[in-house]
C-alpha cells in the first residue's frame, strides 16, 4: 500500500491584515420610523442603534467585498497573487451559482485561488476563520482571504416593527497566514437546529416565485427567545473559548462579539465578568447588525481608532440564524 506524503503547512496561523467597507449612505432611525410605529428612543434603548449603512445599486456584495479585501491585503503586506483561497460568508448574495467568491478572487487578481461561499449567518466569520486556519496549517494555502459581507437591506421588511431597525450593509475581510506562534486559538462552535425557527427567512424563494406569497422574503426573528439564548448560552460558549485558549478574562485586551444588540453585548460582558480594562466593541451603534460582516468591521474600526492595537489578545464570538455559533481567541493584526 502506497503511503501518502503528509501535508506541510505553517506551525500556526494568524490574522495578518484586516479591512472593512461601509456603504456611503448613512440611514438614521428617523428613516426607519417612516414605516413603523415606534420612536428613536425606543430603538436606541432596545438595540443601541443610532444609524446604519444601506448599499446603493452599485455597492453589490462583490463590490463591497473587493473594497474590504483590498484593504486587508494591503494591511497584511502581501499581494493578491499570494492569496491561495477566498472564503466568503454571506446570506444576501442572490445569485445561487456561481459562488460570489469566484468573482471576487478574479477581480482582486489572485492566481486562480480556490474560492467558495459559506452560509453560517452571524457566525459566518468565525466559521470562515476556522477553515482558513486549517488551510494554512495543513498547507493547502499559504494565505487565505476571509470575507464577511451582507446587503441585509435587501432582506429587511421595513414594516416589521421587530426587525426593521436592526439590519445594515457592509463587508469586512481579514487575511490569514503563517505564524511561528499560536495566534488563533481553538474554535468552540456548533449548532442548535431545533431552534432554527427563532431566526429565519419568512418564506422560501419558491413561494415568492410561484405566487404563493406576494411579499418578497425577509428575515424574521423571535426577539425575546434570541435574546435569552444569546445572553445565557453564548456567554457559556465565550467562556469555553477562553478555557480552550488557556487564558482567563483577565488576560484579554479586547472583546469583539457579533454586533447583534447592545443589550446582548452588555449582558455578556457582565456574565463573563470582564475587567474594566477590556475594550468592548459596540460598532452596532452606527453600523447596525451586519451579520457575517459585523466582527471584522468592528475589529477594523477598533484598530483604526486606536481603541485596540496590534498584538492585543481578543475574544471574538459570532452567533445567529441556525442557530449557529463560533468563538475563538485571536491576536489582533
Catalytic residues: 122, 258, 289
Strands 169-179 and 143-151: antiparallel
Strands 324-331 and 313-320: antiparallel
Alpha-carbon gap, residue 141 to 138, rounded angstroms = 8
Query: 284 by DSSP, 3-state: which?
Result: helix
**How far separated are the first and last CA of the chain, in Å rounded?**
44
Residue 5 DSSP code: P
Q: What are phi and psi of 28, to 5 degrees?
A: -80, 170
Of 321, 317, 272, 277, residue with least CA distance to 298: 317
Q: Which three cell numbers stand for residue 319?
A: 452567533
Q: What are phi and psi of 118, to 5 degrees?
A: -130, 155
Alpha-carbon gap, residue 183 to 179, rounded angstroms = 7
DSSP characters over 228-261:
HIIIIIHHHHHHHHHHHHT--GGG-SEEEE--S-
Of 110, 100, 203, residue with least CA distance to 150: 100
Amino acid at each position: 500500500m502506497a503511503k501518502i506524503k503528509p501535508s506541510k503547512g505553517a506551525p500556526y496561523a494568524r490574522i495578518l491584515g484586516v479591512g472593512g467597507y461601509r456603504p456611503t449612505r448613512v440611514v438614521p432611525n428617523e428613516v426607519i420610523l417612516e414605516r413603523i410605529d415606534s420612536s428613536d428612543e425606543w430603538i436606541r434603548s432596545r438595540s443601541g442603534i443610532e444609524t446604519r449603512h444601506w448599499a446603493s445599486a452599485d455597492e453589490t456584495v462583490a463590490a463591497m467585498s473587493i473594497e474590504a479585501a483590498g484593504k486587508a491585503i494591503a494591511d497584511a503586506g502581501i499581494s493578491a497573487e499570494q492569496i491561495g483561497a477566498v472564503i466568503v460568508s454571506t446570506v444576501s448574495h442572490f445569485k445561487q451559482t456561481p459562488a460570489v467568491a469566484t468573482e471576487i478572487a478574479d477581480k482582486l487578481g489572485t492566481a486562480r485561488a480556490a474560492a467558495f461561499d459559506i452560509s453560517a449567518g452571524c457566525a459566518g466569520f468565525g466559521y470562515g476563520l476556522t477553515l482558513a486556519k486549517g488551510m494554512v496549517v495543513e498547507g493547502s494555502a499559504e494565505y487565505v482571504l476571509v470575507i464577511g459581507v451582507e446587503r441585509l437591506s435587501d432582506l429587511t421588511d421595513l414594516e416589521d416593527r421587530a426587525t426593521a431597525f436592526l439590519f445594515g450593509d457592509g463587508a469586512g475581510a481579514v487575511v490569514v497566514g503563517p505564524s511561528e506562534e499560536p495566534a488563533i486559538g481553538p474554535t468552540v462552535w456548533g449548532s442548535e437546529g431545533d431552534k432554527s425557527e427563532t431566526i429565519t427567512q419568512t418564506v422560501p424563494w419558491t413561494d415568492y416565485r410561484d405566487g404563493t406569497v406576494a411579499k418578497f422574503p425577509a428575515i424574521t426573528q423571535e426577539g425575546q427567545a434570541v435574546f435569552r439564548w444569546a445572553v445565557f448560552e453564548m456567554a457559556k460558549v465565550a467562556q469555553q473559548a477562553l478555557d480552550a485558549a488557556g487564558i482567563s478574562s483577565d488576560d484579554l485586551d479586547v472583546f469583539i462579539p457579533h454586533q447583534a444588540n447592545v443589550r446582548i453585548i452588555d449582558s455578556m460582558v457582565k456574565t463573563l465578568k470582564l475587567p474594566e480594562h477590556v475594550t468592548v466593541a459596540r460598532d452596532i451603534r452606527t453600523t447596525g447588525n451586519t451579520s457575517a460582516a459585523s466582527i471584522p468591521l468592528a475589529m477594523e474600526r477598533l484598530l483604526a481608532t486606536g481603541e485596540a492595537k496590534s498584538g492585543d489578545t481578543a475574544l471574538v464570538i459570532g452567533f445567529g440564524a441556525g442557530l449557529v455559533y463560533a468563538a475563538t481567541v485571536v491576536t489582533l493584526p
